[in-house]
Chains A and B, each alone.
Chain A
């Protein structure tokens, strides 16, 4: 009895194995299933726009005939930015819906929660929508690949700028006490090296649940710093810009790329309060008059009017989602009809100087089996009271 049970089980396992070797999970003769998680509800739900854009994009691709004869079934689930919920949804997508792979899952904590599961099951976790630096770890997590420049790279760029233009700066750092904020501190340490202890006169952190950052700003000002690097989400970035202005502090201010939205940060903070703030960008800002007649952004605008009528065209999340979806499409095209998980992963790590119409001129998408950081270049920009003005060259981060 026991023996037969074991035998049956073994036979089942064998059958399952041979089945998975023969065909490709999530792919039928006519369809590819792609999974995704987004915070459609809860405090982070403004990012849900990215998922909606991607859904609209793949719908358009299907209407145009799909990829290599396959229609794309893009299944995007709500995880409310809560890691246990992400695990639940991804299990459902992989085991119940049977998706071929995950694409552009959003947020550092949610992606951290599913990274191990997806790698164990050898399910590609493509172009995660987070700027944490750890998403390029091709050795330990060969099935997980990042997308945008990491926070750490960005901080290195600021530090290099300071070393070149203000070598005697006394730096204060305000950061959110999580992965996102701490990556900036790490990036600064990378670039400043031994000088970190001397140049950084004060660090202060805040929690996303704090009501205000007044204490921190006052303490940072009290340290005598003349340079401020802020790694804060929009709500606290806007508070910071205004508080710094209100208390009459005039540091050279660097603002994280996360909080450069004109509508969500600069306008609430008071556009004139932020004059002179320096940040870095890699994508084209839809509100920037420079790109008013830009061919690349017009391609995006065309997509938006046809497929997402009525959407707010000043929201950069639509641009982001469009760019990520285009990258995904490129990978699928490169697959040449072989949509096995291994080949999808191989092609995702084989993008060579791929141009996205939504990226700044000169910035390209590049990956290889030993480079899981698709975008590593940025350009500095300065707020002039109305818009961000790009300056200097496109800078490559060290790529970590």
Chain B
């Protein structure tokens, strides 16, 4: 993987006399400034859409660590999203005295535990078979959620309504604005964890297990340990996202966690870029916002007086499923790195262009 080991020309000035590192820092600062002012420059609805993108980014980060970096394909991450969401919903409504912010890490820990356990049987399943087993898990998730043995806790088919938290310390923020900051903060934590994990020794081991399992084992990497560990971390992040999503929706129910949710996660990482950390944000944007555009487009097409077959084809193409399906195949075919690949490519081009003139003639 190019991201992990390409040495950066650390001191070489990139642009306008600033180094790569400085540019990176500037971009980060810009991101935080943007996050700080966003809640006051967007309508509540737009803001909550951005919040949703952030939440899905965390979930996709979780899946990408497992599938992108460790090579274990999961089509069932909706299940961990559900565990996170239900943990928060149950803690907030059935258990008194737990503040909402504390339910998020608890959801993460519980999801991590379940993920770790699921990771053990997953060890015996190679690529395709794991995809198959997790696909079955995704299909069965709603009926497991509403099973009568635990419907005192889960609310059965009715699901659970909960409250969106208000801003603390009397901050002059409405609930949507506060939830944005809250989710943003969690995203920062999640991305820092993900980044550090993947850039370090663990990350290298994960990738080695993906690319050359046997060689990795020979070199002393405990493949079983890393695989189950990755499963746990991945489930944890997705669970955290599920917990935040429950606060966002103020509702959890079995119907919210159907197989299509898990499939959307897969679409997200493929579009965003398998094995790309910044890519997940694009992936999240794609699965949250693009369907709305598609449906607007479809409504607009229907108002046009196009010849029958043409408008039929356009309506067909703008149906979310067809759109997602096409995007998925086209992306795999033409853009195997997804958006993350484009970013990487752009960075490399900039770097090269910046580096060329300063390189001493040989």
Contacts and interface: CB of A to CB of B under 8 A. Distances in A.
Interface of A: 5-6, 9-10, 13, 40-41, 78, 80-84, 87-88, 91-92, 95-96, 109, 112-113, 115-117, 177-179, 182, 207, 209
Contact of A109 (B48, B52, B159, B321): B159
Interface stretch (B1-9, B194-202, B250-258, B351-359): B250-258
Interface in B115-150: 139, 142-143, 146
Contacts of A177: 143, 146, 157
Contact of A82 (B44, B48, B157, B256): B256
B245 interface: yes
Contacts of B320: 41, 80
B44 A179 contact: no
Contacts of A78: 295
Nearest to A85: B291
Nearest to A81: B255
- Chain B, interface size category, equals 20 to 34
B143 A116 contact: no
A13 B295 CA distance: 35
A109 B255 contact: yes
Contacts of A117: 250
Contacts of A115: 161
Interface string B212-230: 0000000000000000000
A209 B142 contact: yes
Nearest to A182: B157
A83 B251 contact: yes
The 6 A-B pairs at the shortest CB distance, nearest first, are namely: A9-B172, A96-B45, A178-B157, A113-B251, A95-B45, A95-B44
Interface residues of A: mostly helix, strand, loop or mixed? helix
B43 interface: yes
Interface of B: 43-46, 48-49, 52, 139, 142-143, 146, 156-159, 161, 163, 172, 245, 249-251, 253, 255-256, 258, 295, 319-321
A87 B256 CA distance: 11
B44 A112 contact: no
8 contacts: A41-B320, A82-B258, A88-B49, A96-B46, A113-B253, A177-B146, A177-B157, A182-B156
Nearest to B159: A112
Contacts of B256: 82-84, 113
Nearest to A13: B172
A174 B44 CA distance: 45
Contact of A113 (B43, B52, B163, B249): B249
A91 B161 contact: no
